[in-house]
A and B are shown apart, each in its own frame.
Chain A
Amino acid sequence: MGDYIVLAISCIFVNNILLGQFLGNCPFLGTSKKMETAVGMAMAVVFVLVMAGVITWILNTYFLVPFGIEYLRTIGFILVIAALVQFVEMFLKKSIPALYAGLGIFLPLITTNCAVMGVCLINVNEEYTFIQALVTSFSYAVGFGLALILFAGVRERILLARVPKPLQDTSIGLVTAGMLALVFYAFKGMV
């Protein structure tokens, strides 16, 4: 159990997918202007990442490795994740309309999110067990959400601050992201 907690902490804080590994930068910059969208996006990512982590782990362990075709990993994962997102969208629309109403516009955006892909690949590279893969996927997603929401809060305030012309908008966003990353660096020694 202790191991899983350490794993989770390491995924959420130390190796934060956004600020430690710099994956998933497009939604990080794109959906962080408003707190509401950031929260919606974070939820959608948690949802999809866990599913994707699980499915890709199964795909890898039971198909790719036994047949010795690990080199098809990337393209296979892409296909599976894309199909999965579509599937989930349809499923939600029919079965849990309330959840669909909340996540609806964000789901398709995640189809091509490299954070999702990245986590799936990490799971495989690190040769995690199923449970470990589940925990990492979930924790990375929580880390993603945490960073995104923090960042959105900061950006909402920056919107009102005096920013020199050349630095406005995305530039100051990237500078801020850099600083946030430095802050997260402080977790480095923890685990």
Chain B
Amino acid sequence: MVEAILFMLGLGAASGAILSAASKVFYVYEDPRIAEVENCLAGANCGGCGYAGCSAAAVAVVAGEAPPSVCIVAGAESAANVAAVMGMEAGAAEPLRSYNLCRGGERADDKYQYMGINSCRALSMLYGGKRECEIGCLGMGDCVKACQFDAIALGEDGFPVIDELKCVGCGACAEACPKNILEVKKMSDKLLHFNQQDDRIAPCTQTCPAQIDIPKYIEQIRKGDYEGAVNTIRERNPLLLACGRVCPHPCEDYCRRGIEDEAVSINQLKRFVADYEMNSGKRLPISCAPDTGKKVAIVGAGPAGLSCAFFLRRLGHSVTIFEMMPKLGGMIRYGIPEYRLPKEVLQWEIDGILKLGVDAHTNVKLGRDFELGSLVAAGYDAVFMGIGAWKDYDLGVEGENLNGCYTGINFLTRFAKKQQGDAPLEEAIPIGDKCVVIGGGNTAIDCVRTLVRLGAKEVSIVYRRTRNEMPANMVEIEAAEHEGIKFHFLAAPTKVIGDENGHVKQLEYLKMELGEPDASGRRRPVPIAGSETLMDIDMLITAIGQGPDTAFVKDGKRLDDLKITKWSTIDALNPETLQTNIPYVFAAGDAYTGASLVVEAIGGGRRAARSIHLYLTGQEVTAPPKSLYKEHIPESIFESVEGITPKARTPMPELPVEERIQSFVESDLVITEEDAIYEANRCLNCCRTCYDKDVA
């Protein structure tokens, strides 16, 4: 017994002594923070972070090789704790999420019955994996089995559906999938993806300047998933209420159904879901990446600026808007009149963007209240110029400055300011009886329709070319016709004649005829000699186009070498990066393209957001690889489509003419839910379904 006690004591003492000696001899200095950091991690030793266990991850954090958010299991709180230990701010690393990238595929060569083991890997090894398409999902659910977090399930269609809340982005599914359909990506990769030559994208999506995944949201509408549809659109276009109302929908021109039947009414569907969200009384949540600590200044809060702000904010950058007008929105607030886009609707949409944490200063103008130098001094890392095209072109004829003569943008913005109560002291513009608007674009049409609503007795448009060449949206032209506007085509104003008080009295114009097509493909009007005609008028608005006001360039410091084109637009080095010759200045929207469309500005805003993100994260600012920019995949544009039974397109509901010309209430209405589902069913779901017409 005594030996036993002695022995155990001796053994214990010896071990203890050796160990304590060893801990001195083999002492390795270890940063005490390593242990602290390790305590904050999840302790799962799962290796999902890419390091061999939690202690290795802690070492990497302390060494500055890994961000505080390294642990993929423990979440934001742990990141904050780690950051506290390290004395820095959490953030920087964006969470990875798994995404199902399958969008359907091509028609397969064979269809076969598969009887083997239920594993995608086995199936793809045996048959190369052609179920019904070449690239598509094999549907055996290897990813589901590989996911340790129960975040993937096979959805109704047999494709994996990812539960974003459960997904930690460990990448096990992507590793298990033999067809590379699942991929773990950062939010920025997803938000900043641009159409690629090898993407499977429908003709409409290829055409959309904002690159919205159109058939996807139409399918979501068909299934009644309106919220999903809103999210799909918002991934590419944060101004869906506005676009749903005013977009001339270039996508519909390329709609495949349109080859054999009338095109799908894509934009009305967008408006339907956008209104659905607004009327539902709650906003769908929008996720933002952790703060990066980078600051971006957005000059001009039109669609381009708002879109750029939205995407940059979602990528975690801090964004401040500087706007010269009293309210945000740009041309879609001060140009497009109330009856087309009610200010209340617009405000709801803009509020949603500001709620993400975007700051805005109004009534401050670049070149007057601040300049590029002050932004740099205030610590902004990059500047986005979305100043639009606000300067009316002059007609260049005698007498255009007489009393009673106005220019389009000036007239519309003055009126809009008055109407919104932005400028209560300013005098209202007196409206004449016989009003003439010169021009054929949206501005001209908006002027005449506004004049009608303001009680002008006779309103006409004078345009150099014919109705076919008018650049305004077709629905707008038709609406103007219904509202009793007179059109004088092939008429070029040559002189404005005033009365003895200097007020406009008559307009002299030359009649024209159409000649050879010009560079834009439109037939050039040529004057008929000696055809001068006089027209009695008492108010004249010239709306023959507008360009950016880049006067600030000359007197600003730092900006004086910003490259401006001969059309006075801001020049970019590459249309796909939108970076200007000053590396931290980016431009998009009308300021870059010249007067264009809202969707174009939105797409440009996102494109610029991508470049700014690259710039801020220290990457090279280059165009997206393999990008499909303003072109179509030739094989996807068909001459004819088989097997289409024509189904009438849903007409746009609008207020009766007599009612709508009395006031500024919205004249175009939203389609009913029933019509929306009917219309969604007209979509052919191009480039999404895997089908084999001979077998099925």
- Contact yes or no, B28 A93, CB < 8 A: yes
B residues within 8 A CB of A80? 11, 15
- Contact yes or no, A67 B7, CB < 8 A: yes
Q: Which candidate, A119-127, A129-137, A156-164, A179-187, is the interface stretch facing chain B?
A: A156-164
- Contact yes or no, A90 B26, CB < 8 A: yes
Answer whether residue A190 sits at the interface, using C-beta atoms and an 8 A cutoff. no
- Contact yes or no, A72 B7, CB < 8 A: yes
A residues within 8 A CB of B696? none
C-alpha spacing A69/B18, complex, angstroms: 23
Q: Which candidate, B49-57, B187-195, B212-220, is the interface stretch facing chain A?
A: B49-57
Answer whether residue A63 sits at the interface, using C-beta atoms and an 8 A cutoff. yes
Answer whether residue B259 sits at the interface, using C-beta atoms and an 8 A cutoff. no
- Contact yes or no, A162 B119, CB < 8 A: yes
Chain B minimum-CB-distance residue to A83: B15
C-alpha spacing A170/B120, complex, angstroms: 23
Identify A105's interface contact among B8, B45, B117, B122, CB under 8 A. B45
Answer whether residue B118 sits at the interface, using C-beta atoms and an 8 A cutoff. yes
Identify A87's interface contact among B18, B27, B176, CB under 8 A. B18
Answer whether residue B179 sits at the interface, using C-beta atoms and an 8 A cutoff. no
Question: Shortest beta-carbon distance, A29 to chain B, in Å?
Answer: 16
Answer whether residue A79 sits at the interface, using C-beta atoms and an 8 A cutoff. yes
A residues within 8 A CB of B120? 160
Known: A80-B15, A86-B19, A91-B22. A104 touches B53 (CB 8 A): yes
Answer whether residue B400 sits at the interface, using C-beta atoms and an 8 A cutoff. no
Question: Shortest beta-carbon distance, B417 to chain A, in Å?
Answer: 66
- Contact yes or no, B22 A76, CB < 8 A: no
Answer whether residue B378 sits at the interface, using C-beta atoms and an 8 A cutoff. no
Known: A63-B7, A79-B11. A161 touches B22 (CB 8 A): no
Chain B 54-75 near chain A by CB (<8 Å), digits 1 or 0 = 0110000000000000000000
Within 8 A of B (CB), among A166-183: none
* Chain B count of residues within 8 A CB distance of the other chain: 32
Within 8 A of A (CB), among B103-158: 117-122, 142, 145-146
Answer whether residue B12 sits at the interface, using C-beta atoms and an 8 A cutoff. yes
C-alpha spacing A68/B4, complex, angstroms: 9
- Contact yes or no, A160 B53, CB < 8 A: no
A residues within 8 A CB of B121? 160
- Contact yes or no, B11 A69, CB < 8 A: no
Answer whether residue A101 sits at the interface, using C-beta atoms and an 8 A cutoff. yes
C-alpha spacing A90/B26, complex, angstroms: 6
Chain A 64-107 near chain B by CB (<8 Å), digits 1 or 0 = 10011101100110011001001100110111000001101100
Identify B146's interface contact among A40, A91, A159, CB under 8 A. A159
- Contact yes or no, A161 B11, CB < 8 A: no
- Contact yes or no, A94 B28, CB < 8 A: yes
Within 8 A of B (CB), among A32-47: 36-37, 40
Chain B 31-59 near chain A by CB (<8 Å), digits 1 or 0 = 00000000000000101000011011000
Within 8 A of A (CB), among B599-630: none
Question: Shortest beta-carbon distance, A111 to chain B, in Å?
Answer: 13
Chain B minimum-CB-distance residue to A67: B3
Known: A159-B145, A159-B146, A161-B119. A95 touches B26 (CB 8 A): yes
- Contact yes or no, B118 A79, CB < 8 A: no
Question: Shortest beta-carbon distance, A80 to chain B, in Å?
Answer: 7
- Contact yes or no, B119 A72, CB < 8 A: no
Answer whether residue B280 sits at the interface, using C-beta atoms and an 8 A cutoff. no
A residues within 8 A CB of B640? none
Answer whether residue B23 sits at the interface, using C-beta atoms and an 8 A cutoff. yes
C-alpha spacing A40/B681, complex, angstroms: 56
- Contact yes or no, B23 A90, CB < 8 A: yes
Question: Shortest beta-carbon distance, A69 to chain B, in Å?
Answer: 5
C-alpha spacing A104/B52, complex, angstroms: 9
Question: Shortest beta-carbon distance, A139 to chain B, in Å?
Answer: 27
Known: A72-B7, A160-B121. A94 touches B27 (CB 8 A): yes
C-alpha spacing A36/B48, complex, angstroms: 13
Identify A72's interface contact among B8, B47, B56, B118, CB under 8 A. B8
27 contacts between A and B (CB under 8 A): A40-B52, A63-B7, A67-B7, A69-B4, A69-B7, A71-B4, A75-B8, A79-B12, A79-B15, A83-B18, A83-B19, A90-B19, A90-B23, A91-B26, A94-B27, A94-B28, A95-B26, A101-B52, A102-B52, A104-B52, A104-B55, A105-B53, A159-B145, A159-B146, A160-B122, A161-B118, A162-B118
- B residues sitting closer than 8 Å to A (CB atoms) are 3-4, 7-8, 11-12, 15-16, 18-19, 22-23, 25-28, 45, 47, 52-53, 55-56, 117-122, 142, 145-146, 176
Other than A72-B7, A160-B121, A160-B142, give 14 A-B pairs with Cβ distance below 8 A.
A36-B47, A64-B7, A75-B8, A76-B11, A79-B15, A80-B11, A80-B15, A86-B19, A87-B18, A87-B19, A87-B22, A90-B23, A101-B52, A161-B117
Lowest 8 A-B CB distances belong to which pairs?
Answer: A94-B26, A83-B15, A162-B118, A105-B53, A90-B26, A160-B119, A90-B22, A67-B3
